[in-house]
Structure formats: C-alpha cells, structure tokens
Amino acid sequence: GLPTRVRVHEVGARDGLQNESSTVPTEVKAEFIRRLADAGLTTIEATSFVHPKWVPQLADAERLFPMVSDLPVALPVLVPNERGLDRALALGVRRVAVFASATESFAKANLNRTVDEALAMFEPVVARAKEGDVHVRGYLSMCFGDPWEGAVPVPQVVRVCRALRDMGCDELSLGDTIGVATPGHVTALLTALGEAGVPVSAVGVHFHDTYGQALANTLAALRYGVTTVDASAGGLGGCPYAKSATGNLATEDLVWMLRGLGIDTGVDLGRLVATSVWMAEQLGRPSPSRTVRALSHE
C-alpha cells in the first residue's frame, strides 16, 4: 500500500542554491523561502552554518535566517560541527541537520575527515542539540553510489545509519548524492535498514535526478512505508563537492505524482510553479523540472 500523506522536506534554498555559480542576493533567498511557505511547504531547509570558504553561496546564513524566522514553518539548517551549532543556536534555530558520508572519499572531500572522524565531530553536536530540545536530522550521503568508489555496499551504509541513530538523530535522510540509485537498490537498502532496527518512520529519502530515476526511486520508497521525501523547488541543486551530481528531485514533479496517487502534501502546485518560474528568472536560466515547464506553458 501507499501512505495517505507525505511530508515534503524542501531543500531548494539550501541544496539548490549552494550549487549555483552566481551569488543569489540574500533578499532574493528570503523572498524564495517566503514564497515556498506561501505555497504550502511546511519544512523548508533554509541554509547552512558551514565554513564560508567551503560553501560561499551560503555565507550569508547569519543575515538570512532572521529574515525568515518569523514564518510559521520548520526551518532546518545544516551544521557540520559545534562551531556551526553555536552559530545556529545564537539565532534561535530549532532544527539542525548533520551530514555524514557512507564513503571515505566523500567524507574527505566534503568534510575533510574520515567517515568515523566525521561521526566523532557530530557526536557533541547531536548531544547538545538534544539537550536543548532541538530536532536533529542526520543526512547520509553516497548511500547508493560514489563518484570515486562506484557502487556502495548496503552493509557499509547501514553501519553509518545505525551510528547516526545511536547518536540520537531523530530522523535520517538517505542521500543519493549523484543520482545513480534505481528502485531495486532503494528497496534493498530500506529492507536492510529495517532488519538493523531502524524504523521506517524515521527515514526520509533524498534523491538527485541525474539519471532520471528520482521519481521511480521515490515510489519504491513510498511502497516501503517512507513518508518523508526531500525535493527542491524547480529541481535546483547539486553538490559542490560531488561534481557529477545534478539537481534534486523537483518538488513540482513529486507533487504532481503524489497528487495523481491521491496522496496529500498540502502543497499548492500552481503557487509552487509560479515560485520556481520566478526563481528561474532571478537565476537567469530555466527550471529543469518537466512539470514546471509543462505547467508554465499551459
């Protein structure tokens, strides 16, 4: 069976904009987030409190967050370490996400750490967040394939998922960072996670659409009982430290499929498409989302 409701975790303002070559003005980012909230999205990842040299596109986090923090939606942010957590807590952030890697190559490229050193870096972050009743998401990148290492063995992924859970992460997000997953692989990983005692209610999926498989992978995850799906408005996105990655699953493509299946998301598709068309104008290039293109030319 399929769920009756899905929570969309909108990542366009973070995963999308972190990969734009142009610097988007802070005011435009704030307006983007406001429009996303207006379109009915209730979880909108706002920015990252990472080293500004590593992700210069999000170096304005201190200025951006207070511009949107009045919105009646959840506004999670990425924090890699205690320095990031301090910066976030100083602004009243209530939801944070740490981001681990299933592979050594990407842990090094993205965090300048081994997999286990990165986990050790997250441990005090998660502990302090939990003490303050701050919700913690644990991302795991390269759950299916890695640009340097190829296919990633399921047990290797399960081990890091367990570590993030044991550390206290409230939810996990399984990242197909370079978009190489296919539905059978998704089902195999979810099955192995279930066997390792990770409840499906605590698992979200995060598909990039490089090979056009993101929707098929999402459907496989929904059939398995997943109800949290990451997507980015207009299909913005990628990852600066994984060059072969393209944008995330487009939120519009996701909502179109879910609507057809009778699954409620609370998202107003017309408003969302208008937002992505507006954002595409700001960025000076059209949205790669098929649904945005179809609905904006109607």
Instruction: State the catalytic residues.
Output: 239
Name residue, tokens 């996670």. Answer: 193
Q: Residue 262: helix, strand or coil by DSSP?
A: coil
Question: Which of positions 7-66 make contact with ligand HMG (CB under 6 A)?
Answer: 15, 18, 48-51, 54-55
Quickly count: other Cβ atoms within 10 Å of residue 66's Cβ.
11
**Structure tokens that stand for 285 in this block:** 């290039």
Q: Is 111 in the site for ligand HMG (CB under 6 A)?
A: yes
Q: Is 15 in the site for Mg ion (CB under 5 A)?
A: yes
- Characterise 73 by phi-psi region: left (phi > 0), alpha (psi -120 to 50), beta (else): beta
Which one of Mg ion, ligand HMG, none interacts with residue 36, CB within 5 to 8 A by kind?
A: none
Total of residues contacting ligand HMG (CB under 6 A): 26
- Which one of 112, 114, 191, 201 is in contact with ligand HMG (CB under 6 A)? 112
Which one of ligand HMG, Mg ion, none interacts with residue 83, CB within 5 to 8 A by kind?
A: ligand HMG
**Contacts of residue 83, Cβ cutoff 8 Å, sequence gap at least 6:** 49
Please choose, out of 78-86, 126-134, 148-156, 160-168, the segment that lies near ligand HMG by the rule CB under 6 A: 78-86
Q: Are 99 and 241 in contact (CB under 8 A)?
A: no
Contact map string, positions 225 to 244, toward ligand HMG, x by CB under 6 A: --------------x-x---
Q: Are 215 and 231 in contact (CB under 8 A)?
A: no
d(CA 28, CA 173): 27
Contact set with ligand HMG (CB under 6 A): 15, 18, 48-51, 54-55, 78, 80-81, 83-84, 87, 99, 110-112, 139, 141, 175, 177, 206, 208, 239, 241
